[in-house]
Amino acid sequence: MLLLDMLILLPLAFAPLAWVSSRLNHRWPRFFALAGVICQGAALAVVASSVTSAGSVVRGAIFAGGSTIWMTVMDGLSLPFLVLAVAIGSLAVVASWNVTKAPGSHHALLLILQGALAAVFLADSLVLFYIAWESVLIPMFFLIGGWGSSNSRRAAMKFLLFTFAGGAVLLVGVIVAIIQTGSLLISEISAAGGVTTPVMVFWLLAAGFLVKLPVVPLHTWLPDAHTEAPTAGSIVLAGVLLKMGGYGLIRVAVPFAPEGFEGARVALAILGVVGIIWGAATALVQSDLKRLVAYSSVAHMGFVALAIAVGTAASVSAAVVTMVSHGIVAGLLFFLVGALYERAHTREISSFGGLGVVAPRWSVVFVIASLASAGLPGLSGFPGEYVTLIEGFRAFSWWIVPAGVGVVLAAAYNLRAIAGTVQGTRGSSSGILDLSTRETSVSAACVVAIVVLGVAPHIVSSTVVPVIISLFPGMNGGL
CB of 136 to other proteins, least distance (A): 10
Is the CB of 24 or the CB of 54 nearer to other proteins?
Answer: 24
427: Cα within 13 Å, side-chain hemisphere: 13
Instruction: Give percent helix, percent strand, percent coil of the chain, each to the nearest 5.
Output: 75, 0, 20
Is the CB of 169 or the CB of 357 nearer to other proteins?
Answer: 169
User: If 0-12 CB within 10 Å is exposed, 13-18 middle and 19+ buried, where does residue 424 land?
Assistant: middle
Is the CB of 66 or the CB of 431 nearer to other proteins?
Answer: 66
CB of 72 to other proteins, least distance (A): 11
Give the C-alpha distances (Å, rounded to integers) separating 421 from 45, 296, 365, 409.
38, 17, 12, 18
Return the ∠ at Cα 264 (arms to 263 and 270), rounded to 5°. Answer: 130
CB of 90 to other proteins, least distance (A): 25
CB of 176 to other proteins, least distance (A): 6
Is the CB of 1 or the CB of 137 nearer to other proteins?
Answer: 137
Q: Which helix (H) or strand (E) holds 345?
A: none
Is the CB of 179 or the CB of 285 nearer to other proteins?
Answer: 179
Residues forming contacts to other proteins in the complex (CB under 8 A) are 63, 66-70, 127-128, 130-131, 134-135, 137-138, 141-142, 145-146, 152-153, 156-157, 160-161, 164-165, 168-169, 171-172, 175-176, 178-180
Is the CB of 25 or the CB of 67 nearer to other proteins?
Answer: 67
**Distance (Å, rounded) from C-alpha 470 to C-alpha 182?**
21
- Alpha helices per DSSP H over 25-151: 28-48, 78-95, 103-122, 126-135, 137-147
DSSP secondary structure of 142-153: HHHHHHS-TTHH
CB of 164 to other proteins, least distance (A): 5
**Distance (Å, rounded) from C-alpha 47 to C-alpha 58?**
8
CB of 179 to other proteins, least distance (A): 5
CB of 225 to other proteins, least distance (A): 14
Is the CB of 29 or the CB of 327 nearer to other proteins?
Answer: 29
Q: Which helix (H) or strand (E) holds 417?
A: helix 401-421
